Structure 1
Amino acid sequence: MPPPRARDLGLPFPGIPGPLNAITDVAGVTVGYTTLTDPTRDMRTGVTAIIPRGYSTVPMPVWAGQYSLNGNGELTGSHWINDAGYFIGPVCITNTHGVGAVHSGATRWMIDTYSDFFRNDHAWAMPVVGETYDGVLNDINAMFVEPQHAIAALQSAAGGPVAEGSVGGGNGMICYEFKGGTGTSSRQIAIGEATYTIGAMVQANFGIRPWLNILGYPVGRMMPEGTLLSQETGSIIVVLGTNAPLSGLSLRQIAKRAAIGIGRTGTPGGNSSGDIFLAFSTANAGPMPQHGAALQYHETLNNEWLDPLYLGAVEAVEEAVINALVAGEDTPTVKPRGRICPGIDRNALAALFQTPV
């Protein structure tokens, strides 16, 4: 049975989530994991895979924008996203030393999946791979992640409910000195005559305990036991997906709002943290540009109408981070050895919100 989520504890998050309260509420988005755990080898790591348009043997651009609050980290493919406003293929997240292996595996998956495109065109693969550092709970220097693990995560990708906490790339991650990892959430947004969905997925590995704030409560100062770090040593990758029709420029503006979402949980964006964000839209499906007509037509929402979508992005990111925390369980450390990274006390957290302010 999966652990409770933050809303199950009575935390009164604002906004209207989708049916699953997950990034997979965006139609077509699929998520898969490879989780690698072997305490006898100090192994606690993995790969998370997000396929924006689900499985297809025909590649199509995914319109996208990228923003870095603090650049102490990696997101491959981001230079092209910033220039072209799109990417093709999956988004994967792993640990810092696993980026090369995951990039190789995702490239192999793209070549095999889009085989006609790579065989008949001068095609190139530039998968999007992000990372955060799991070296406190995992022997990161052993480089356990291999290309086959990325392929397996991609092959397992599916819609429906999304597992959270110590799964996939989030397996070895710490957030505000509690066990962190993978979290997700979504919001439904009415704009004009339509209702759109925006979903967030995070690999939360950032923050120190005194910073943690949950819906206005200084939870980090109220739960000081079991701290591990003297300063920020982690990062966070945020992936935002929506079915709203947006340009690459507008999606960059959406990606920026992830900074406000994580800021609501207390972080100032520490110097050692890679706070790197990606937003994509599944709208305006069409052929690869080299196969398209000279004149292109895309629907895009008027920027003057985007404030509700910005708010939905902020709310979904905030809740996704807390969902990652709530899913955490006590986990032994590797560096330093012999300590415990605690899961947040769910009962104590729930009790805070049962008492009127």
Structure 2
Amino acid sequence: MLLEERMKLARSAGTAPYAICGDLTLKKIVATRPSTKARLANIDGVNQHLVTRYGDHLLQSIQQLSKQLDLSLDGAAAVEASQANNNCKAYTITKQPKDLPPAKYGAWKMWQEDGLSAEKIANFPGRSAPIKVNTVLGYVLDAAREGCVVDWTRLFNEIGLTQEIAANIQAAILKVGSKDKLKPIKEELPEEVDYTHIKAWLTMQDLGMSTEVIPSSNQHSKQHSNGTEESERAAVAYLSEEERNRTERPVPEKTEASLFGDSPRKRQKVEVSEQGAGSSLEITEASLLDWIQNFENGVTLSDILKHFNGSTEATAIDLLSCIESEFLIFKKNNLYKLM
């Protein structure tokens, strides 16, 4: 019943269900049946974004469903489960998870608890031989999968993962049609997107984390002394309408902003009309389905982004994935069509 409530939330927010919270987290919420935001936030796997944005709706749903099923809120079983979750949190910090090798646990401990960078850990004086920086970062991600606490903001800043790169990765996975093998996904991405970016994004998905915790490119500190005008326009193309109004600048008619890096083979472009942000159109489930039915042969992702120019690519892809899972549309040969 709570899975259905999550699907309703995903539809109204125009995102995928996993972006709200993962199945495992949802099971823990069901087991504890919290009555307040404080108790909801205390559940392992629940982040601040979930509590702030969806907390009221979830608590109301839990209260109604529990009443229908004659279940108590915050009962003995719920308290016991909550305590077990808290014990699990303490365990992941002080003890090595059973399925995590000592080398990976040691790397995570140095990175998370000692605050060392991946580069310092890779070249630590006590090692018999240096290891690769990406290997250390992979160890940290493996530790996260085993329940170890990770400072995600710090990790994303260290590896340079942004909302734009995440959107590119998600689009590549949709194009490949599988996330089981990383090489086909990497081949669909610009050179600057590496395997660590892909692994970090997949780890987030598996843990049921929201992509909103990933910084946007304008939040991430860039190390280039002379940014190109094209990259600036690409960043503006990802801003919300309100942010575009605050950062509005004159642009030539039909300015092109690359969304997929500088690779000529792999980048997609968006035309920014001279009418500016005032004519932007936000994507919703109803508007998308209504628009697609006008195209018997289907539409591409580029067509969708061009038409719904008030929404980011990540938002569009999330909504497409959600609607596909409900069998309202299908994708064939990179074209989206109504079922």
Which interval holds the TM-score relative to the shorter structure? under 0.3
Q: Which has the higher contact order (CA 8 A, sep 6+)?
A: 1
Structure having the larger proportion of residues in helix: 2
Q: Structure 1-normalised TM-score?
A: 0.25
The structure whose Rg is larger is: 2
Q: Structure 2-normalised TM-score?
A: 0.26
